[in-house]
Chain A
Amino acid sequence: MVRLQVRRDARRFAAGMPGATAVLLFFCSCTGAIGGSPTEGTVGRKDALCQSTAPSPGPSYIRRVNRLEYNNTVRDLLGDTTQPADGFPAEEKRLGFDNNADALSVSPVLAEQYMSAAETVATAALNGRWAALVPCAANTTDAAAVDACGRDFIAKFGQKAYRRPLDADDSAVLTAVFDAGKTTDLKTGIRLVVETALQSPRFLYRVEFGAVAASGQTVVKVDDWEMASRLSYLLWHSMPDDALFTAAQAGQLSSSDQIQTQVQRMIADPKARGVTADFYAQWLRVGEVASAEKMPTVFPSYSPAIAGLMQQETEQFLDDVTWDGGGDLRSIFTAPYTFLNGQLAQYYGVSGVSGTAFVKTALDGSTHRGGVLTQGGLLSLLGKANQTSPVHRGKFVREQMLCMQLPPPPADIMIKPPELSTTLTTRQRFTQHSVDPACTGCHRLMDPIGLGFEDFDGAGIFRATENGQPVDDSGLVNDSDITGAFHGVGELSSKLADSAQVQACVSTHWFRYGYGRGETDADSCSLSRIKSQFAAGGFKVRDLMVALTQTDAFIYRQVTPPAGGP
């Protein structure tokens, strides 16, 4: 019999192949153990060795701004808060996130939407904020004054929009556009400059060439302007602010200390909270909670309104715990409080909360809750429309927390979920998975975890009985560094919070999210550094974000030969 394994997620990529998609190259079924020891990360080398070797940054690809980044960037560049990118096509998710460079392709539909968004945004900005954006009066007609105004605007606006000083070609293009438009009037000239800039690759992509490489050099630092954008898009999902631009202009974004000064300032800015919120929306699928649908016949008190409140609860909780509370992984999993309003508290059966505003609410033992996994949002998202789903709950823990990629069910079997029953418990119905050899290999990795969630029904309500029988909340995590039995989600959460495997997994997710790509062999020292800095501060998310700015992958880039002219 072939010994089959579940490998750790994404160990291998088709790294750096021109035009290649990073593809998971393994495929397997699961009747055996996990490859490698559970606590082993993707890192083989020790920190000490990493420090003595030459910088190894891994590949860095040109990255298009995604919808969130586009919205934030036009907000910071032009004061536009209409979120014009919300109507653009949704990004394809790769490795769990919607900002992967490989997946951000451009269709004619998107190109057309960039065009119309540029027109709308430019018109609105110049109508509403002319004085803040343009260095002369809108009714200027004197030819020399118009020219001077245009050139001044192009240099200043262009540098902000392109996030670096314009080169001669950039400048010539925008000047020619302005000159063509000014034949109508100054305002038209300025507007066409903005429209053109907002469709330029310098704006829509983070174009990097790195510092000038000496002959034979294969790795260079990114230049200071590029560093400003790397920092701002990593920590704010937006363009650099004036302080970053000033630092870049002064050549003060090169040394580790200079970078860290900026990082400390940036991470204290509320814009950094938007980044963790977006990360959680995708890693923990919090962004999907509000759209989970349930059958009213089975869950009569559940409604779209409740689903929306549950999403808000989890979003507020994660924001608070990350930035105002403990800030560490353990708090995310176990903090004994949440955020409720009157309607949601009533839904959960928690007393003492009223009104529409969400308030921080302490949770005692009687609520059976504490930590993100015990909140109604994830519990219902990971349930079916008419029942719980031990499979989905277990799979979520296995994949998102433990970073194990589970293979799909075998081909050519008819998948028959256990029939609903009015007498059996869910646990009893799911025994098939632990009996049928076609199922047990993988389902032993999912169902025993998910069955430990049975205290909560498919819509996130605590229950002591199911179909008249007492609920058994015993669960089992196997094939991991926290192998062992547990009772209920609370106990599982506590185990997860202490798991080195979970800590490494979260680091890996942040690497992929922060850098917009999968990790490669060349990134082993960068990843190792991220993990040790995460550990050093007691697994605080904020430390993890800071750590992402201190790696070879972040500070350096590979020197790549240009492809050449068209």
Chain B
Amino acid sequence: MKRFQLSRRAVLRGAGGVAIGLPFLEVMRPLGGGQAHAAGSTPPKRFIVFFSPDGNIRENWTPTGTETNFTLSPILAPLAAHQADLVVVQGVDQRGGGGDGHQNGMGGMLTGQLLNAGPFAGAGSAPAGWPNGPSVDQRVAEVLGNDTKLRSLELGVQVGAADNWGRMIYRAANQPLPPEDDPAQVYANVFADLHADPVALAALRARRRSILDTVGAQYARIGARLSAADRARLDQHLTAVREVETRLTTPFATATAACHDPGPAPAAATTNNDDFPAIGALQLDMLVMALACDITRVASLQWSRSVSQVRFTWLTPSIPEGHHDLSHKPDADADAVDKLTRINRWYATQLATLMSKLAAIPEGDGTLLDHTLILWCNELAIGNIHSRIDAPYVLGGRAGGRLATGRFLRYAGDVPHNNLLVSILNAMDIPDQRFGKPEWCTGPLPGLV
């Protein structure tokens, strides 16, 4: 339900028959305060993708025990405090193809699709482009993202270049959504509402809508005079403009007990290797608060990128080698196995931090974590052979009660990860029975949701 609307939308007919939406500076009825979901009603569901790169060490990742009585592995041990909120999923194969192992994993991980041909030449494969469909979070955003300021929020930590090793979120086929690597930018873009006067904010939004409406009409008009190829370029721009315009009709965030201004990031993000944890911590804070304020219900946090060469110099003992270089050491290299285990354990620690922060925010009759579903994924299962068979998936949070947690699920045989993605949609109350490439998907994973 929309909490407010433009009270009227006069149309000015200008010279040359150009229609312009008004009101420019008309002050709309401001919000009475509170979040988009009224107190006492059921809190909305949230979905988070949490990505870490370069594969895993299977024997140190896999828990032991039974479905409901299991012991976390060395890598997953930092999640012990949240074991009752986890579902560890083993035996699912991450499908993908069209490029090299990292590209296929990165592009297929959340889309369940092949990569189209494109400009990025990988190792041992034809040059590949972007995947042939949207990522699962964007399907969720299609349903959950319409009532919030942001349809979805993509955050990164030193992700960098715009290629298919570095993009995992896709609005649609061939449409990567870039993550924002700079917490200061995130703060400026996402939380501006929290320190603005509501009346002035309403006026600003009305003015922006009018201008975007005007601008959009120009894209359509000029596009019609261009060749089909150029028209497609402007159409894409027009779609983006319309989406921004739509966002401006959603309720804006106001501070509540749970939602507060996270405070500006101390400095712009850098690409310095050793700033990786500090930037990550800032992005985690921004992510949690964006959900708590109901600025978005769909978010992702992408740590680095596939083929990540982050050097985990801050661990004890320090790891001076690049992550990807280490990931290609043979299984018998005990030193590399130890280091990779500690790297993946560090990422598990970050996930535990995220879960703790979500669990600390009361919401409805539980916490924000209870209404959230987190998917922790990796573009590879095993780094040194680029395997994506039996990929390491962890789900966290209860998705508003749809997900029975505190479980370790093992699947055997040929289980495409498309089925896991379908189950995720189902947990988010989206009753789809297929996702991604149709030939790969046979329906939801049995016993998960």
Contact = CB atoms under 8 A, between A and B. Distances in A.
A17 B117 CA distance: 15
B68 interface: no
B41 interface: no
Contacts of B16: 168-169, 171-173
Given A172-B15, A415-B328, A111 B178 contact: no
A563 B228 contact: yes
A357 interface: no
A414 B330 contact: yes
Contact of A201 (B117, B129, B237, B322): B237
Contacts of A18: 227-229, 232
A124 to B, nearest CB: 16
B209 to A, nearest CB: 10
A205 interface: yes
Contact of B119 (A21, A386, A560): A21
A109 interface: yes
Nearest to B232: A19
A304 B270 CA distance: 12
Contacts of B185: 87
Contact of B126 (A27, A95, A112, A565): A27
B232 to A, nearest CB: 5
A562 B385 CA distance: 50
Contact of B14 (A23, A172, A560): A172
Interface stretch (B81-89, B210-218, B298-306, B352-360): B210-218
B175 A180 contact: no
B241 interface: yes
B328 A566 contact: no
Given A23-B119, A415-B328, A563-B226, A107 B171 contact: yes
Nearest to B182: A87
Given A61-B233, A184-B25, A173 B214 contact: yes
B interface SS class = mixed
B318 to A, nearest CB: 10
Contact of B20 (A171, A180, A560): A180
Given A18-B229, A183-B24, A295-B320, A412 B240 contact: no
A181 B24 contact: yes
B269 to A, nearest CB: 11
B314 to A, nearest CB: 15
Nearest to A566: B220
A416 B222 contact: no
B127 A180 contact: no
A297 B163 CA distance: 32
Contacts of B217: 173
Contacts of A560: 226-227, 230
Interface string A19-46: 1110110010000000000000000000
Contacts of A105: 175, 233, 236
Interface string B171-188: 100011110101001000
A202 B14 contact: no
Contact of A19 (B15, B228, B320): B228
Nearest to B328: A415
Interface stretch (A76-84, A260-268, A374-382, A402-410): A402-410
A202 B222 contact: yes
Contacts of A172: 14-18
Interface in A59-87: 61-62, 64, 87
A244 B100 CA distance: 48
A432 B320 CA distance: 25
A179 interface: yes
A311 B325 CA distance: 26
Given A18-B229, A107-B177, A91 B162 contact: yes
A410 B124 contact: yes
Contacts of B227: 18, 560-563
B24 A176 contact: no
Interface in B1-48: 12, 14-18, 20, 22, 24-25
B14 A176 contact: yes
Of A94, A105, A410, most buried by chain B (CB within 10 Å of CB) is A105
A200 B218 contact: yes
Nearest to A191: B207
A481 interface: no
Nearest to B227: A560
A27 B385 contact: no
A172 B123 CA distance: 54
A414 B198 CA distance: 59
A250 interface: no
A521 interface: no
Interface string A497-512: 0000000000000000
A413 B214 CA distance: 55
Nearest to B127: A24
A196 interface: yes
Contacts of B277: none
A177 B129 contact: no
Interface string B104-129: 00000000000001110111111101
B197 interface: no
A423 interface: no
A136 interface: no
Of A109, A116, A184, most buried by chain B (CB within 10 Å of CB) is A109
Interface in A194-219: 195-196, 199-202, 204-205, 207, 209
B273 interface: yes
A62 B330 contact: no
Interface string B53-93: 00000000000000000000000000000000000000000
Contact of B207 (A192, A202, A561, A562): A192
Contacts of A564: 224
A304 B275 CA distance: 14
A196 B232 contact: no
Interface string A428-439: 000000000000
A202 B218 contact: yes
A89 B230 CA distance: 21
Given A106-B237, A563-B227, A408 B18 contact: no
B425 to A, nearest CB: 22
Interface in B206-257: 207-208, 210-212, 214-215, 217-234, 236-237, 240-241, 243-244, 247
B433 interface: no
A115 interface: yes
Nearest to B123: A408
B211 A90 contact: no
B270 to A, nearest CB: 10
Nearest to A198: B215
B127 A563 contact: no
B189 interface: yes
B271 A201 contact: no
B161 interface: yes
Nearest to A25: B117
A111 B271 contact: no
Contact of B129 (A21, A95, A111, A563): A21
Contact of A416 (B125, B161, B328): B328
A408 B121 contact: yes
Nearest to B185: A87
Contacts of A21: 117-119, 129
Given A19-B232, A291-B271, A562-B225, A107 B118 contact: no
4 residue pairs, one from A and one from B, having the closest CB atoms: A411-B124, A176-B14, A172-B16, A560-B227
9 contacts: A87-B182, A90-B162, A92-B161, A107-B177, A109-B154, A180-B210, A195-B211, A297-B320, A414-B385
Interface of A: 16-21, 23-24, 27, 61-62, 64, 87, 89-95, 101, 103-112, 115-116, 168-173, 175-177, 179-181, 183-184, 188, 192, 195-196, 199-202, 204-205, 207, 209, 291, 293, 295, 297, 304, 385-386, 405, 407-417, 560-566
Given A90-B178, A115-B212, A172-B17, 14 more contacts: A18-B229, A19-B228, A19-B232, A62-B230, A62-B233, A103-B119, A107-B171, A111-B244, A173-B217, A176-B18, A408-B122, A408-B123, A560-B230, A563-B227
